[in-house]
A and B are shown apart, each in its own frame.
Chain A
Amino acid sequence: MDVNPQDPKTTFPGEVHPAPGGGILVSKLDDVINWARSNSLWPLVFGTSCCAIEMMSTASAKYDWSRFGFEVARASPRQADVIIIAGTIVNKMAPVLKRLYDQMPDPKYVVAMGACATSGGPFFYNTYSVVKGADHVIPVDVYVAGCPPRPEALLHALIALQAKVKAGY
């Protein structure tokens, strides 16, 4: 699908028609729900290697992803909306990742952070243990390039995800 992350619908979806004594809001319920959803995406605490360090940095004061509604990192998949695959997925980890994803309630979103989660990255050739891309295990919504990506890149990906959610994906 086409999403333009440069132009996320950050404002409330709808029009206010002035009326005597106030106003009438005209909107679509689907749009309102998606707007609410996109601004409160709770990530799962999940990190398998160095990308997790960058993810933690994104969460902390300097980059502060709570500006975009991501601050409520959940230690249980049952309370999480988005899983950020921050690191290498090895064959032994793949069933665990699948299980975590299955335990997340719908609607759920997946961000593949960094080269390993996208394609296996530096472990693409001559390795016996690495899954060549987390999308072999679970469907991925947003891919982030980098090894590891900078916190700005992760924020950009999360904003792109918000645009996707707002677009009704």
Chain B
Amino acid sequence: MIEQEKLIAICPGATFAENSQWPTMLISNTDWRALAEQLKNNSEFNFDYLFCVTALDAKTHLTMIYHLESTTSRNILVVKAKIENRMNAEIPTVCDLWRTAEFHEREAFDLMGVKFLNHPDLRRLFLTDDWVGFPLRKDYDDPINMIKL
């Protein structure tokens, strides 16, 4: 187990979720980049494996969820970064730390419209290049293709 004090030391604004499967850290999107660098490069944590990237639409805000694992200690940590600004959702990229994030972030951009700052190749992945809007957002509407229930 990773001690919460160590995590708070590198990210003072963080809180922790109770009763979750894995230790879960709740942060703001502005804290993510500095925290990610520490988690990856600090030998105390050594989270060298990013095994899941999720974008979540909570209606009032968006959340990016990162599942990290250390292949040496086998610790798992979940980081939930809250993005307050829905209209212009931005979070720094981590694809230079974990290469796998490059495509995961493209997918999150494609379907949820999260802009990843400094991402080298942020374009649509599954949808056509001329697509308008982000279809997995809760407020997405497409009166031509969608039949509402």
Does B149 contact A128, Cβ atoms closer than 8 Å?
A: no
Does B145 contact A126, Cβ atoms closer than 8 Å?
A: no
B24 CB, nearest partner CB in chain A, Å: 29
Chain B residue at smallest Cβ distance from A125: B149
Does A92 contact B128, Cβ atoms closer than 8 Å?
A: yes
**CA distance in complex: A92, B125 (Å):** 12
Does A126 contact B128, Cβ atoms closer than 8 Å?
A: no
Chain A residue at smallest Cβ distance from B148: A126
Of the candidates A91, A129, A132, which one forms a contact with B147 in the assembled complex, judged by CB atoms under 8 Å apart? A132
Count of B interface residues, CB-CB < 8 Å? 10
Which size class do A's interface residues fall under? under 10
Does B148 contact A128, Cβ atoms closer than 8 Å?
A: no
Q: Does B87 contact A (CB under 8 A)?
A: no
Of the candidates A91, A92, A125, A132, which one forms a contact with B148 in the assembled complex, judged by CB atoms under 8 Å apart? A125
Which B residues are in CB contact (< 8 Å) with A124?
A: 147
- Contacting B at CB under 8 A, from A120-149, are 124-129, 132
Chain B residue at smallest Cβ distance from A120: B147
Task: Mark each residue of chain B from 111 to 149: 1 if its CB lies under 8 Å from any CB of chain A, else 0.
Answer: 000000000000000101000000100001010011111
Chain A residue at smallest Cβ distance from B147: A125
Which B residues are in CB contact (< 8 Å) with A129?
A: 135, 145
Does A128 contact B146, Cβ atoms closer than 8 Å?
A: yes
Which B residues are in CB contact (< 8 Å) with A128?
A: 135, 140, 142, 145-146
Does A126 contact B135, Cβ atoms closer than 8 Å?
A: no
Which A residues are in CB contact (< 8 Å) with B126?
A: 92
Chain B residue at smallest Cβ distance from A130: B145
**CA distance in complex: A127, B147 (Å):** 7
Which A residues are in CB contact (< 8 Å) with B149?
A: 125-126
Which B residues are in CB contact (< 8 Å) with A127?
A: 145-146
A130 CB, nearest partner CB in chain B, Å: 8
Task: Mark each residue of chain A from 30 to 54: 1 if its CB lies under 8 Å from any CB of chain B, else 0.
Answer: 0000000000000000000000000
Q: Give me 16 other A-B pairs in contact (C-beta within 8 A), A125-B147, A129-B145 excluded.
A: A91-B145, A92-B128, A124-B147, A125-B148, A125-B149, A126-B146, A126-B147, A126-B148, A126-B149, A127-B145, A128-B135, A128-B142, A128-B145, A128-B146, A129-B135, A132-B147
B interface residue numbers (CB < 8 A to A): 126, 128, 135, 140, 142, 145-149
